[in-house]
Amino acid sequence: MEDKASRDARKLEAKALKRKRIEEGGGKRPRPPASQQQEPKLSKKKQKQKKKPKSKNGSGGEAGHRFGRVMEHTPCPNEARMSTLSIAIPGSIVSNAQTQELRTHLVGQIARAAAIYHIDEIVVFNDRLGKNIRPSFRNNFRRRDRDGDNNYNHGDNHRDRDGDNNQNKKKEEDFKTEQDQQSEKRMQPSTDPHAFMARILQYCECPQYLRRHFFPMHPDLQFAGLLAPLDAPHHVRALDRSEFREGVVMEKEATDTGSFVNCGIRNQPVEIDRILAPGIRCTVQIDPKAYTTPGKSLKGKVVSPSAPREKDGTYWGYSVRMASSLKNIFDESPFGEAGYDLKIGTSERGDISVDDDKFEAKAGKKRGSFKHAIIVIGGVAGIEECVDADETMDISGNQSKSLFDMWINVCEFQGSRTIRTEEAVLISLARLRPFLFSKAPASSAGSVKQIDAQTVEFSDGEPSDESSSEEE
């Protein structure tokens, strides 16, 4: 067997021979002429990309294809909207899903529907008909030794300070501090379907760059990567010059005029006009011209989350509220004593259908006259069963329509015996929203941003810039 000395000598001899060949070639490595050099072999995927012609706009696909990228901005109605639209959904629908993946996907569908149809509030209420969910989260982490070494406490070869083997297994000492106990309690998965649903809805609504602050690791968010992103206007990209941004107040020392807010602009916090406690989420209005001013720190002012909607109708997300019963949906309304001035109940036994000729005339009287509307959607058994199960109500399920201003059947001739709640949300919002909100007047048609078919590109080949599994 070759020893180390002879091996090192052989390596030095090979290096000297190589250096001699380079010197003989004029200080350059000897290479074949360019005409004799062979092109590197490309993989099949790269060969297809090389053959594939690019369109005029630079995207892949057939030449002249103009539908390769997503919308840069959602269409803005350019009309102030002072009224709000809420929906109420029972959390018990989550307990019908078999696995946590399906539960997460179900809530994600509702969040997407709410964003598409400009829902301002989602109420998760307890219909007293659900059951606790069985979490599928598994804790794969094992607790290490207190002194930080890599030996596990329950190992067979663990030794004490004297080096003696622990042949008789003793009870482990409880080394958990009060902070460890609180963190362990916080990491327990939710068995309450209403809490699970509310957490997923809040997670979907929160902009990506704020999620790490407001949503630490939790078993309920184990499959959050499966959620489709809302891609709503308030989910602003880092390089967008948006007038409004969501942010969180930083712990950075505030100035005499105001605090600093992280609004998702890389390495550039925004100084606001007031001092707020760190960790609070707020909506900040920034002058768009400030983005183009080099060398100056961004400044903005704190506004209400409804400011974008009240200015030009821009949708700015939804809030999530939990109600302990159907009755508390109306009693605990956040809109003062007046509460909801338009209550709509949906049921397959509704006394009027959206397809009826009289419905348009009846809904036309409500259009534009309400301030706060709410659409209540029942669970598996419907609103009637929920009323029967609520002991705080003095009416029976047959009298459920007395709770609402409109008792509607949104899908009169359904082809299935049942309509799932997540399906009912989409159907109800798609059919009722045109009757609730008036169209933009003809005089303001010129102010609405028109879409030029030659310049704007829509989603077809490329995914959205907003990712559900990656955070900034």
The CATH number given to whatever domain includes residue 286 is 2.40.50.140
Q: Which tens digit of pLDDT belongs to each residue from 180-235?
A: 555 555 578 888 899 999 999 999 999 999 999 999 999 999 999 999 999 999 99
Spatial CA neighbour of 243 closest among 312, 294, 318, 297: 312
CA torsion sign for 47, 52, 54, 60 is negative
| Whether residue 427 is found in the same domain as residue 353 | yes
Q: Which tens digit of pLDDT belongs to each residue from 366-378?
A: 777 889 999 999 9
Report the number of distinct structural domains present in the chain. 2
| Whether residue 307 is found in the same domain as residue 323 | no
| Whether residue 307 is found in the same domain as residue 321 | no
Where do the DSSP E strands lie in 297-452? 298-303, 319-323, 342-346, 352-353, 372-376, 406-409
pLDDT of 393 above 70: yes
| Whether residue 213 is found in the same domain as residue 356 | yes
123 in helix, strand or coil? strand
| Whether residue 393 is found in the same domain as residue 345 | yes
pLDDT at 394: 86
| Whether residue 351 is found in the same domain as residue 398 | yes
What's the CATH number where 115 sits?
3.40.1280.10
**Which structural domain, as residue segments, surrounds residue 279?**
244-311
Q: Are 408 and 353 in contact (CB under 8 A)?
A: yes
| Whether residue 341 is found in the same domain as residue 282 | no
| Whether residue 126 is found in the same domain as residue 264 | no
| Whether residue 227 is found in the same domain as residue 375 | yes
Q: Is the entire prediction scored with pTM above 0.85? A: no
| Whether residue 325 is found in the same domain as residue 407 | yes
Q: What are phi and psi of 200, to 5 degrees?
A: -65, -40
- Across the range 1-13, mean pLDDT stands at 84
| Whether residue 303 is found in the same domain as residue 334 | no
Residue 55 belongs to some domain of the structure: no
| Whether residue 410 is found in the same domain as residue 368 | yes
